[in-house]
Structure 1
Amino acid sequence: MLYAFELSGEHEELPSAEVFACLKIEGLDFHPHTRIDQCLVVDIAGKEEGVERILRGPITERLSMTHHILKVVGISENTPDMILKLAEAFDPSSYIREGQSFVVRAKRIKHNVDFPGELLEQKIGGCIYRKGFRANLKNPDVEFRVILSEKAVLGTILSSIDRNAYESRTPQNKPFFHPGVLMPRVARVLANLSGIKPGELILDPFCGTAGILVEAGLVGARVIGVDAQEKLVVGARMNLEAFKLDYALMEGDACRIPFKEATINAVVTDPPYGRSAAVIAGSLEELYSCALEEIHRVLKPGGIAIVVSDKAALEYGEKAGLKVLDIYVQRVHRSLTRTITIFQKEVEMKMEIKN
């Protein structure tokens, strides 16, 4: 079955990557079907009822750079004639039950179409009305949505992501604030890209005010934070307590992480860069080098480490023995561009020696 994710568009690659990561975390059998501007269509195998329960539940709760999840009716060229042909042809019984009311909404993505969405809404609504269903513009049971991008995607909304919840957790709204931290939606994306699952351990060795740890904790992870500055550890504790999360915090050195080898499921961190910060190491280069060696040591084989920096952390991670999976670049403002590097600790292959 095809499902569409209407993406936020705040980054070219991260929203899609987040969707794939969340589907993988939940163990769904899927493969990409169609990628267009601000919309990703995925083919998900399995029993429809079970798949949609997961999409409405844990997937919706985890995603941060998606607006809506749709059950796809069909995909067509983005012309009114082709969209209306699709609307005339589909069988509504899989998307709306007898007696339910509906509304049709059209979303134009950038300048991919030059015709008004309102007229299209009316005409698609007429198609569905003629098939025996009642329109209700104010309180419908089912919302049909057409995404007008390089192609047109018609579907019904399964769920919507509460992006206002992320706004309520902006750094200024937390008990302890310190400038220069990641915004909650970005922190949540990083937690999702790490593949962390409920009950697993995630470490931030430069935890600051715990922005990353809060987002990881809210998806059920057990979070551990280390920071060199006592005042930030105190502030991180205030922020984690505010959300009643399962956490451990300590003042310490990211170059000497006090954990045994191969004990952490994932590491996500935003080390100091391009800003005033207490650096125990002699230089930022030395800090990155030794911290990534420690990250490699404490990660379990197969575990993911994500490092945010103003320059590629690739060379330091590779020297530490980590494999680079992906690199994303995010322009924050004119004087700051973040590089998000995703590493993996490779699984050691054991060879059997036969006598």
Structure 2
Amino acid sequence: MLLAFELSGEHDTIPAAEALACLESINADFKVYLRLDGCLVVDLKNDIKRIAQVLSKRLSMTRNIIVVLGIGGAGEEDILDTVSKADIEPEGTYSIRVRRIKEYSHVNTELMERRIGEIFYRRGAHADLRNPQIQLRVLLTEDKSIFGYIAGSVDRGAFEARKPHYRPFFYPGVLMPRLARALVNISKPEEYMLDPFCGTGGILIEAGLIGIKVIGGDIQRKLLLGAKMNLDFYKINYSLMYQDACRMSLCDESVDAVVTDPPYGRSAAIIAESLEHLLTCSLKEIHRVLKNGKRAVFVSERKIEDLAHEAGFKVVEIHIQRVHKSLTRRVYILEKVTFDFE
């Protein structure tokens, strides 16, 4: 059965990468069916409704998870034909929403919703826009329409409520909760996740909220105290250490995943010979404490491919995020390998 992820559009590549990593983390039996701008469709063999519910509580850069009932062309008559042929007879009340992905389609969505409503009215179904028993959805992408019903929705408001300035301790320049959660999911954590530059604990919060035991380290006492306040506020299972990321007090291969957003050398409080030294040494330490075959997600404003390779990592993915004119984030997905991959 096909499952579609209605992606948030906040980034070109991270939302799909997050969805795929989450599917892999829960051992879903799937393969990619379609990759579209703003929508990912997978062919799923497992219990599709259960998986949709599980993922809706974990994902951040997906709006809705949709059980696909039909895929057709993007023209008006194509859409109506796809809906008409779909194997569904709504029991009880329903709602229908048509959404354009970006500006690919010029279909009048309100008119299309009424025309689809007429199809189900003739079948004896009753619309209820406020409290429907089934929510039907049509996504209009580059050259296709995807029709189905919503099996799970992500509570985006919960991420808004956790924005940094709403936390007990605030410090500027940190990742927003949705991005932090997406990076945590991409790292595919199992039991323990480490952030060696944890700052005020934003990444640790998002990992802890999905049941991961988190370990944070930082060399700034003020930020560690702030992280403790924030982690206690969200009732996270955590350990914090006052330590240099270049000399961590952790055993070899002791964590399942690493996600970190180093301060890029902007803070004078960082004790390091240079930014180059900080990146080189911290990557080597991350490689040391990470278990074999596991992932590290490393955010950097500069290219670190060579440094990652020297530390022993394989670069799996690179996601580019332009924050503003003077800052471009590079999100590196690194994998610890035990063989020569070159």
TM-score range, shorter chain: over 0.9
Q: What is the distance in 2 between the residues matched to 1:304 and 1:311?
A: 20
Q: Does 1:53 find its partner at 2:50?
A: yes
Q: What is the distance in 2 between the residues matched to 1:155 and 1:235?
A: 45
Give matches, 1:121-200, under 5 Å.
Answer: 121-150=113-142, 151-197=144-190, 200=191
Q: CA deviation at 1:277?
A: 3.9
Give matches, 1:214-233, under 5 Å.
Answer: 214-233=205-224
Residue of structure 1 equivalent to 2:226: 235
The answer to whether the Cα contact below 8 Å between 1:302 and 1:344 also exists between their aligned partners in 2 is yes
Q: CA deviation at 1:91?
A: 2.2
Residue of structure 2 equivalent to 1:267: 258
Q: CA deviation at 1:132?
A: 2.5
Q: CA deviation at 1:274?
A: 5.4
The answer to whether the Cα contact below 8 Å between 1:87 and 1:128 also exists between their aligned partners in 2 is no
Q: Which amino acid aligns with 1:22?
A: C
Q: Which amino acid aligns with 1:41?
A: V
Q: Which amino acid aligns with 2:38?
A: Q
Q: Which amino acid aligns with 1:225?
A: G
Q: What is the distance in 1 between the residues matched to 2:99 and 2:107?
A: 12
Residue of structure 1 equivalent to 2:289: 298
> TM-score w.r.t. structure 2 length?
0.96
Calculate percent identity across the aligned residue pairs.
Answer: 49
Q: Does 1:83 find its partner at 2:79?
A: yes
Q: What is the distance in 2 between the residues matched to 1:32 and 1:211?
A: 31
Residue of structure 2 equivalent to 1:352: none
Q: Does 1:307 find its partner at 2:298?
A: yes
Q: Which amino acid aligns with 2:52?
A: L
The answer to whether the Cα contact below 8 Å between 1:312 and 1:341 also exists between their aligned partners in 2 is no
| 3-state secondary structure, aligned to 2:247 | coil
Q: Which amino acid aligns with 1:133?
A: A
Residue of structure 1 equivalent to 2:95: 103
> TM-score w.r.t. structure 1 length?
0.93
Q: CA deviation at 1:348?
A: 5.8
Q: What is the distance in 2 between the residues matched to 1:26 and 1:9?
A: 24
Q: CA deviation at 1:104?
A: 1.1
| Higher mean displacement: 137-146 or 153-162 | 137-146
Q: CA deviation at 1:316?
A: 1.5
Q: CA deviation at 1:314?
A: 1.7
Deviations 1:122-152 (A, max 9, x none): 1111112222322223321111111111111
Q: What is the distance in 1 between the residues matched to 2:77 and 2:7?
A: 25
Residue of structure 1 equivalent to 2:20: 20
Q: What is the distance in 2 between the residues matched to 1:264 and 1:149?
A: 40
Moved runs in structure 1, 4+ residues, more than 2 A? 274-277
Q: Which amino acid aligns with 1:74?
A: G
Deviations 1:181-224 (A, max 9, x none): 11111100110000013xx1111111100111000111111000
Residue of structure 1 equivalent to 2:38: 38
Structure 1: runs of 5+ lacking an equivalent: 350-355
Q: What is the distance in 1 between the residues matched to 2:48 and 2:105?
A: 32
| 3-state secondary structure, aligned to 1:62 | coil
Residue of structure 2 equivalent to 1:74: 70
